[in-house]
Every structure is written in C-alpha cells, then in structure tokens.
Amino acid sequence: MSWIPKIHFEISERKILLRVFDLASITLMLILVYSLFHFDYLKIRYSRWGWILVLWLYYTVFAAIFELYDLQKAASFQTTLKNVLLTVSTTVLFFILTPFVTPVLPDNRLQILMFFGSMVAGILFWRYAYIKLVSAPRFNKRILVVGNSFDINLIAANLHRADPNYRVIGFVNTDEVHPEDFDKRLKAIEVHNLIKAIKRYTVSEIVVASSAKGVGVDLYNKLLVLLERGFPIREYTQVYEEITHRVPVQHVERDFYKYFPFSRSNKNRFYLFISRLFNAIFALCVVFLSLFIFPLVFLGNLIANRGPLFYTQERVGLNGKPFNIIKLRTMIVDAEAGGAQYASKTDRRITPFGKILRNLRIDEIPQCINILKGEMSLIGPRPERPVFVKELSEKIPFYEIRHAVKPGLTGWAQVRGRYAESVDDTLEKLQYDLFYIKHRNLFLDLNILLKTISTVVYYRGQ
C-alpha cells in the first residue's frame, strides 16, 4: 500500500493560489489585449512596472475587502462574479484617480472600458477554472477522526463549516457508549479494521480527538504503525485552531496554561509601540472626520430616535479594571428598565435609526475617546459588562483571559463570529478572541481592519 495521501490543497495554499493567479491572470490578460488591440493606457513594459505594482496593490486590498479570498464564497461562481465586479470596479476607480502613481487618463475613454473588461475577463476565467478544478471534490481532504462518541458530530460539523474541502468521512469511537444520533453520513470504523478502512476510503489524514487515556493499546499500536510509515496523524486542537482560527477551549481542559503562550505578543515592544501609535492616529482621524458626520447623526436622532444622543455604560477592561464606554444610543430610552439583558440581532429595543447606526458601525465612533484615554485599543476583544462577565466566567472556562489585553473597537470575533445571543454563541466568540490574543501581530491586525471594512460594506454590523 502507498502511504502517501492523494493531493489536497491546504487552506493557506488555496488562498495563496487565489492571490497569485488573480494577479497573474490580470497581467497576462492585459498583455494579451495590448498585443491584439490598440490598447495604450497601461503598457506592460519593464520601465513601467511601477504601474503594475500599484495595480496589484489596489486589487489585493479591495479583493480582501470584497471577500474574494473567502474560500466558502470562492467556491460559488455566482458569488465570485458579484465580488469580482465590485473589486475590479473599485480598483479601476482608484487606479484612474491617482495619476501621480498611475498612467494619465487616455483621450479615448474606451481604453478605460477595455481596461476594466480585461481585468474582469482574466479573473473570471481563472476563478471558473479554480471552482471546477482546485475546489472540486477530487481535491477534498478526507479525514478519519479518533474521538469519543459525544464529540464526533460536533467535530465533523465544525470542520466542514470552516473548510468546504475538509471532509470528515468516518470515525473510530474510543468510548464504549454507542448513541443512536450519530451522523449517518459518517462511517463507524472498528479499531481492527483501521488500516483496511484507510485503503478503502482513501483517507488523507487521521485526527485524534481523544485524551491519552481514551486511546487503548490496540488503537495506539495501529496509530504508531501508521505514523512510522509516514501517514499524517494530528491532534484535534491543532487542526481545529488551524482551520477555524479559533482556540478550542472546551477541549484544552487543565493544560490550557501550557498550551496558551500569554507573553508572545503582549511583551513585543515594537508591536505594542506601533499599535499604540496607530491607535492614536486612527482615533484622531476618526474624531476629525466625525465632525462632518455628526450633524446628520444629530438630525436623525432628533427625528427618529428621540432622546439622548450619547450614553455611557460600565465595561470591563484590561486586567479586569472597569471603565465607562461611550457610544451613540441605538435603543429606546430606558431599554433596560427591567435589568441588564443581552442584545440580539432582532432586538425590538433597537430603534430603526439605531439599526442603521449599528450596521454602519457609526455608533462605535465615540469610543475613539476611550482609545485616546488608553482604556481601549482599535483591535481587541469587545469589552463586556461586569454583570455578564461574572455570569459568563462561571459558565465558560477561561472566559476572563479576554482581559489579558485591552478591549477593542473591533476584533477577530466581530469579523468572524456571529451575533452572540446565547452562551454557545459567546463561547464561539471567546474562541475567536483567544485566537487573536494568542496570535496577534501587525498582519492579523491589518486583516481584521480589512474584514471590518467588509462588514460595513456588506451591512453586517452588530
């Protein structure tokens, strides 16, 4: 038997493919159009590569904003078509409006249409090939999970949702319990048939989701044989974090402090200095720009949201220290007359004008004052109210670790997670927050900023 799994593109590899071939498709199509037609606006010449680099930069930024690198959306041609049109339109607009780093506008405006059409055609041709080839089922990564009976369905659902090409096809149950509600699409594999099942179902990788005590001697010996022969075997928390970009706190248990490197980014002085500097510059710029927006907000509040424009609320900040957050009011007056309660996406207490403020993230603008005061950062876990922190800390393990860094105006959980309307939703957002705390760096911060812009553009504000 060959122990080399069939070809599969990892998440990072597929995203690199999308980025590289998008740029290559644009460039090759422009060269082709220049060769076949009278297209002089953007000549691909060695002495003019600066123009191409600017074009690549604009495209890469706007492709991230319009979610062209989202693998779930990239697998749908209809969604890809819409996002390509938005990305190319914005890229071309910025390109022609910055003539100090790009070519001067041509006399024949048809050249701009040819420029736009060439980019769209090149990208769509490549993206169609990606959907039919790279994103096809033949390149799915077929996974066999070694785990306990209570986790199998949840593990499969989490991995399938995070990566459309990551397929859990079966499991080896390490418990003696045999519940009736197993997902019927998952194949139950007995330990003595493990090696035969790998051959039969062309398994690409084994993911171990059981503790050392859950893996019996027979199973351990078979896994050891596979490992010695070069077959990929990985631990579930590692796979989960890599694919979902969340820290699986519910599986880490008591060894969390060994697993979680608290000091990696919290002690990086260069990162902290750049972060503080950018926070101050960003907050000052937003405060200045808000001077032009606030007259409209004040008028809208006066007409459709009668009552105070601002409100303050106590939140928990760095190291558990409370502070007062400043926001624009989006709910009815006395919204919590009956006591503190969670907000939901369809909360009836939110006024129609307040919903607009939330979706566009305008209600968060006053928090720039908190940033300038050093109570918040631009990026970090969203600050929660003390009453909810106390309640959630009793229900969710490691919840208070969120306070190891300053709370943020936006964060990884806000751009990746759903609206928190329950303890389960809060647990999911905590997993995203802990991933950010564990891995935060300038590149991740930039990614969050771009995704925040996507959230506003697609009207998904919370």
Q: How far apart are CA 397 and CA 394, in angstroms?
A: 8
Domains of the chain, earliest start first: 11-132 (no CATH), 140-244 (3.40.50.720), 264-457 (no CATH)
Place of tokens 């039969």: 200
Residue 233, H or E segment: strand 233-235
According to DSSP, residue 385 is labeled -
Answer whether 0.75 is exceeded by the pTM: yes
Residue in 232, 190, 236, 183 with CA at minimum distance from that of residue 212? 236
Q: How far apart are CA 49 and CA 45, in angstroms?
A: 6
Residue in 230, 232, 231, 251 with CA at minimum distance from that of residue 240? 251
Q: What is the chain's pLDDT, residue by residue, as a tens digit (462 residues)? A: 454 455 666 777 888 999 999 999 999 998 888 888 877 777 766 567 888 899 999 999 999 999 999 888 888 899 999 999 999 999 999 999 888 888 887 777 788 888 899 999 999 999 999 998 887 777 778 888 887 755 677 778 777 777 777 888 888 887 765 656 667 778 888 888 888 888 888 888 888 887 656 677 888 888 888 888 888 888 888 888 888 888 887 666 555 555 555 545 566 788 889 999 999 999 999 999 999 999 999 998 888 888 888 989 999 999 999 999 999 998 888 777 666 676 666 777 888 888 888 888 899 999 999 999 999 999 999 999 999 999 988 888 788 889 989 999 999 998 887 776 777 788 889 999 989 988 888 999 999 999 998 888 876 655
Helices (H), 97-177: 110-132, 152-162
Phi first, then psi, for residue 6 (nearest 5°) are: -70, 165
